[in-house]
Chains A and B, each alone.
Chain A
Amino acid sequence: MGAAVGGDRPRRVTSSPLAIPTTGMRGGLGRILLSAFLLMVILPLSLISLYTLKSTREWVEASAEQRLEAVAMLKAQTIDAWVERSVVILPKTENGVPRLPTEAEWQRIRREAPDLLGLRGEEGWERGRCEGATTVPIRLDIGGRETALCYRAEAVRQLLEEGLSQGAVGETGRLFLVQEGMVWPDETGKRRDEVSALQAGVNPDLYTFADGTEVFAAYGALERQGIGVLVEQDSREVMASVERVAATHIAVALGVALLTAVAASLITRKLIGPIIRLTEAALQIANGDFSRRVPVTSRDEIGILTYVFNQMAEELEAFYGELERKVVERTAELQRSNYKLQLQTLRWRTTLEIGQAIISWRDPDALMFHVASVIVKAFRYVSAAFYVVEEDRGVLRSIYPQPLESEGDTKRKPHIRPWPAAFEKGEASVLARACLSARPQREREDLEATQVWNRRSVMRIALPLKQGEKVIGVLGVLSAPIEGVNGGVDEEEVETLMHVANLVALALENARAYESERTLAQRLQAAELFKSRFLANMSHDLREPLNTIIGFSRLLIKGVDGALTPEQLEDIERIHDNSRHLLQLFDDILTISQIQAGVMDLEMRPVNIAALIDSIWPTAVALVRGEKVRLLRDVPDDLPPALADEQRIRQALLHLLGNAAKFTEEGWIFVRAWAEPSTIYVSVADTGPGIPPSEQERIFDGFEKGKLGHRYNGIGLGLVISRRFIEMHGGRLWLQSEVGKGSTFTFSLPRYRPNREEREGKTL
């Protein structure tokens, strides 16, 4: 059992896996770290790159503009100088205005300026060729007259382009001659607006043509009014360097980012690896694998954490191991107690059934048969038998055999020895042993086996029926056949059976006791009857002769039979008095005997104490001796009734009054009665000699009189009887006395409480 539970130890825990919501949580730490690293690297890098790019672009733009402007200025000056040379050699009037040159002059001019193809004056003169695509007229204000100098286009082009290194205007750089809205050699004429804007100086140095071409431009003005040079360079060429820088930056940034990512992941792995291992281990522990440990690999906080984690895991493992062990233990314990509980339930049920049987079966034999059947059914025995010890033998009194088996069964089942009809106490059987030892005895009986591997056995258990130490019988049970020679009936079952045996023994004892009790009760009843009859008869028989004596002596005293001499009268009176005294004693003794025999019944009725005192008053007056004693009373007329036997209370009161009268020679006797919520009190006080404390209880003790002083002679049994009467009513009688002052006897009686019917009867 323990091994089985220990074997699937983790399973048992995973059967209720810890609900850890880890979905999407794994690797989170790494992601955060990586993101942080990348952010930290790429953000500043990007910012720097952006700034650099922006400033580079600005710088490139500015430098391009400056360069272009410089080129424009330079070209403007070159062209100006070039044009100036032509102007110088022009024939002029006296006031400096150019005039139509002569042919000679024209030839000289042609020689000196071969590129000048024609001239045209404001006055309308013209020399050479001015029109045509190959000429470029440059109109100049010379001496206040506009004069067009028509140059060879190719020459102008050369002039514009010569001397410019590639770096100055780049490959896309172009130069134009600008004069009065004419832009040469602009074939399309599209720049006119831009140029005028440039001339005005308001336009940005960058403009875009309709076809999307973006160019940087600069304008350089000549000395001569209205003539300038326009320099253009494609912005793409200008910005090519910037693009390169940008590309470089991006490449660098990407490279750095990549490097950072790699480094970050390496660092993260280094940093988080142990944490991940810890996490995984923790998760496994959470799922029940307490054997999981994490190696301590680093000498840092994580190392400490791992170390502590391992320790905690170890403690957990130990704790859970202990828990497992305890669970195993408890389970085994629970099974044991469960088995015990079942046994107890069986025992309880059987006991209950047997208990009921004990109550309902008076006949011992029938009881034993019933109990045997209950046992056989409850414990699945083959049979149960009861033996009762008679002298030195146990005699079979009751047997409950298994119900008859079918024939097929009997053939296959081996023969089981039946219970004997009787056994001797001295013999060796299990029954006799139980009887002698007064303890349960077990005996295994091997059944005849046809095969060695088919050995079967039954068990015979004998349980003594004990009454105290005495064995009064034996209960034998025969267990069902079992395989093998072990097991069958265990200690607990024997204990249960012993319990049953004790119950049956008790029942048998009860049956016997019941029988003897019944005869005893009958005898007692008879004795009681005899006693009360005896008392009644004795009362009658004793009193009759005494009454005769008293009657006749009284007859003599009365002089019925003639007058007597004084001596005779005195003698007769003595006889009379003593006879009366004797009669009183007889009465008292009889009363006490009746009380002690329990044959005196009270007739409880509401008693009006005031009326009762009224009725005995004459007697009391007669009792009081002489004139020196006054008889007084204080009894309210509205005294509520007491619940009492009037006759007995009358007797008690007369006893008390008689005593008071007997011992009081002078003074008074005072009868009082009063009521309290549940009690009526009556007291008789006298001014007699009083009774010393040492004697106060004794006078209630009956024939203790002999021990009293001489002066209490004749107190009789009256007080004893009175006290008994009062106590029979549930009241009390007590004495307060002081020597020389007198005695007060007081008794209490319960007040009469009318029940509802009586009350209603009264009010109706």
Chain B
Amino acid sequence: MSGKVVSPQEATILVVEDNFNNFLLMTRLMAFMGVKRCEWKASGWKVLEFAETLGEIDLILMDLMLPDADGYQSLDTLRAHPRLQNVPIVAVTADVSAASVERARQAGFDGFIGKPLDPDRFPDQIRRILAGEEVWEPQ
């Protein structure tokens, strides 16, 4: 975690998610709590492809089950990118087993949020992450 504290209103959050509905749900929930800038990319490759065009990114929420490469490979490539290497990346996945959480931790993710997203809790989780808190909540 970079430790940089950003308020929801100023934050730019990148969602890497192949399911648009999920992205939309997240965007709505985050908008509800005040996040104005949300970017969406369907895969890790897309992120790299458009990395230069993306503005300042404060948080990446990344699905671990992506079509072209899984989240762990994407994590490595994103971390290797000079512009993205300091951005916190939080895993968002339906695989909520303890092993999965552990693997994410080992791989170097900065947090873990389990799917399905709980609309009642999600805004709060994002708020805490933006406030610099580590969130590991598979359920």
B57 contacts A by Cβ under 8 Å: no
Partner of A647, one of B32, B65, B97, B116: B97
Partner of B25, one of A540, A551, A603, A647: A551
B21 contacts A by Cβ under 8 Å: yes
- Given the complex of chains A and B, what is the CA–CA distance between A240 and B136 in angstroms? 163
B22 touches A548 (CB 8 A): yes
Partner of A551, one of B31, B65, B99, B116: B116
Stretch at the interface among A27-35, A186-194, A391-399, A552-560: A552-560
B115 touches A558 (CB 8 A): no
A545, A547, A548, A551: which has the most chain B beta carbons within 10 Å? A551
Min CB distance, B113 to chain A, in Å?
13
Closest residue on chain B to residue A619 by CB atoms? B139
A551 touches B119 (CB 8 A): yes
B97 touches A554 (CB 8 A): no
Q: Which residues of B contact A647 (CB under 8 A)?
A: 97-98
Closest residue on chain A to residue B65 by CB atoms? A540
Q: Which residues of B contact A554 (CB under 8 A)?
A: 119-120
A561 contacts B by Cβ under 8 Å: yes
B29 touches A544 (CB 8 A): no
B87 contacts A by Cβ under 8 Å: no
B32 touches A543 (CB 8 A): no
B41 contacts A by Cβ under 8 Å: no
Q: Which residues of B contact A544 (CB under 8 A)?
A: 19, 21-22
B25, B29, B31, B65: which has the most chain A beta carbons within 10 Å? B25
B22 touches A558 (CB 8 A): no
B119 touches A547 (CB 8 A): no
Closest residue on chain A to residue B99 by CB atoms? A603
> Taking A544-B19, A548-B21, A551-B119 as contacts, is the C-beta distance between A561 and B28 under 8 angstroms?
yes
- Given the complex of chains A and B, what is the CA–CA distance between A550 and B116 in angstroms? 9
Q: Which residues of A contact B29 (CB under 8 A)?
A: 555, 560
B1 contacts A by Cβ under 8 Å: no
How many residue pairs link A and B with beta carbons under 8 A? The number is 47
Closest residue on chain B to residue A553 by CB atoms? B119
Closest residue on chain A to residue B18 by CB atoms? A544
Interface string of A641-671 (1 = CB under 8 A from B): 0000001000000000000000000000000
Closest residue on chain A to residue B96 by CB atoms? A647
B94 contacts A by Cβ under 8 Å: yes
Q: Which of B21-40 contact A (CB under 8 A)?
A: 21-22, 25, 28-29, 31-32
B32 touches A560 (CB 8 A): yes
- Given the complex of chains A and B, what is the CA–CA distance between A328 and B32 in angstroms? 113
A560 touches B65 (CB 8 A): no
- Given the complex of chains A and B, what is the CA–CA distance between A603 and B28 in angstroms? 38
Q: Which of A529-546 contact B (CB under 8 A)?
A: 540, 543-545
A552 touches B25 (CB 8 A): yes
Q: Which of A324-341 contact B (CB under 8 A)?
A: none
B117 touches A551 (CB 8 A): yes
Min CB distance, B128 to chain A, in Å?
18
A540 touches B94 (CB 8 A): yes
- Given the complex of chains A and B, what is the CA–CA distance between A647 and B97 in angstroms? 8
Min CB distance, A162 to chain B, in Å?
177
Partner of B32, one of A540, A547, A548, A558: A558
Min CB distance, A554 to chain B, in Å?
4
- Given the complex of chains A and B, what is the CA–CA distance between A166 and B28 in angstroms? 196
Closest residue on chain B to residue A550 by CB atoms? B116
Q: Which residues of A contact B32 (CB under 8 A)?
A: 555, 558, 560
Q: Which residues of A contact B116 (CB under 8 A)?
A: 543, 547, 550-551, 583
> Taking A540-B65, A543-B116, A547-B116 as contacts, is the C-beta distance between A555 and B94 under 8 angstroms?
no
- Given the complex of chains A and B, what is the CA–CA distance between A555 and B19 in angstroms? 17
Interface string of B63-95 (1 = CB under 8 A from A): 001000000000000000000000000000010
Min CB distance, A680 to chain B, in Å?
21
- Given the complex of chains A and B, what is the CA–CA distance between A544 and B18 in angstroms? 11
- Given the complex of chains A and B, what is the CA–CA distance between A552 and B20 in angstroms? 13
Partner of B28, one of A545, A547, A560: A560
Closest residue on chain B to residue A544 by CB atoms? B19
A548 touches B94 (CB 8 A): no
Min CB distance, B94 to chain A, in Å?
7
A555 touches B25 (CB 8 A): yes
A558 touches B97 (CB 8 A): no
- Given the complex of chains A and B, what is the CA–CA distance between A34 and B30 in angstroms? 148
Interface string of A578-590 (1 = CB under 8 A from B): 0000010000000
- Given the complex of chains A and B, what is the CA–CA distance between A548 and B116 in angstroms? 8
- Given the complex of chains A and B, what is the CA–CA distance between A647 and B29 in angstroms? 29
Closest residue on chain B to residue A554 by CB atoms? B119
Interface string of A254-278 (1 = CB under 8 A from B): 0000000000000000000000000
Closest residue on chain B to residue A605 by CB atoms? B98
Q: Which of B1-57 contact A (CB under 8 A)?
A: 19, 21-22, 25, 28-29, 31-32
- Given the complex of chains A and B, what is the CA–CA distance between A540 and B99 in angstroms? 18
- Given the complex of chains A and B, what is the CA–CA distance between A103 and B94 in angstroms? 213
A554, A603, A647: which has the most chain B beta carbons within 10 Å? A554
- Given the complex of chains A and B, what is the CA–CA distance between A397 and B111 in angstroms? 69
Min CB distance, B10 to chain A, in Å?
21
Q: Which residues of B contact A552 (CB under 8 A)?
A: 21, 25, 28
B28 touches A555 (CB 8 A): yes
Min CB distance, B20 to chain A, in Å?
9
B120 touches A558 (CB 8 A): yes
- Given the complex of chains A and B, what is the CA–CA distance between A561 and B29 in angstroms? 10
- Given the complex of chains A and B, what is the CA–CA distance between A551 and B116 in angstroms? 8
Q: Which residues of A contact B22 (CB under 8 A)?
A: 544, 547-548, 551
Q: Which residues of B contact A603 (CB under 8 A)?
A: 98-99
Q: Which residues of B contact A545 (CB under 8 A)?
A: 21
- Given the complex of chains A and B, what is the CA–CA distance between A414 and B105 in angstroms? 88
Min CB distance, B27 to chain A, in Å?
11
Closest residue on chain B to residue A583 by CB atoms? B116
- Given the complex of chains A and B, what is the CA–CA distance between A545 and B116 in angstroms? 10
- Given the complex of chains A and B, what is the CA–CA distance between A544 and B117 in angstroms? 11
- Given the complex of chains A and B, what is the CA–CA distance between A548 and B22 in angstroms? 7
Q: Which of A558-581 contact B (CB under 8 A)?
A: 558, 560-561
B21, B99, B119: which has the most chain A beta carbons within 10 Å? B119
- Given the complex of chains A and B, what is the CA–CA distance between A554 and B19 in angstroms? 18
- Given the complex of chains A and B, what is the CA–CA distance between A561 and B32 in angstroms? 8
- Given the complex of chains A and B, what is the CA–CA distance between A442 and B58 in angstroms? 94
Min CB distance, A564 to chain B, in Å?
15
Min CB distance, B66 to chain A, in Å?
12
- Given the complex of chains A and B, what is the CA–CA distance between A540 and B22 in angstroms? 13
> Taking A540-B94, A555-B28 as contacts, is the C-beta distance between A547 and B115 under 8 angstroms?
yes
Q: Which residues of A contact B65 (CB under 8 A)?
A: 540
Closest residue on chain A to residue B98 by CB atoms? A647
Q: Which residues of B contact A551 (CB under 8 A)?
A: 21-22, 25, 116-117, 119
B25 touches A548 (CB 8 A): yes
Min CB distance, B18 to chain A, in Å?
10
Q: Which residues of A contact B99 (CB under 8 A)?
A: 603
Closest residue on chain B to residue A552 by CB atoms? B25
B119 touches A555 (CB 8 A): yes
Min CB distance, B79 to chain A, in Å?
26
Min CB distance, B26 to chain A, in Å?
9
Q: Which residues of A contact B21 (CB under 8 A)?
A: 544-545, 548, 551-552
Give chain B's interface residues, CB within 8 Å of chain A.
19, 21-22, 25, 28-29, 31-32, 65, 94, 97-99, 115-117, 119-120
A-B contacts, 11 listed (Cβ < 8 Å): A543-B94, A544-B19, A548-B25, A551-B22, A551-B25, A552-B21, A552-B25, A558-B32, A560-B28, A561-B28, A603-B98
Among all A-B residue pairs, the 3 with the closest Cβ atoms? A547-B116, A554-B119, A548-B21
12 extra interface residue pairs, beta carbon distance < 8 Å, beyond A544-B22, A548-B21, A552-B21: A544-B19, A545-B21, A547-B22, A547-B116, A551-B117, A551-B119, A555-B25, A555-B28, A555-B29, A558-B120, A560-B32, A583-B116
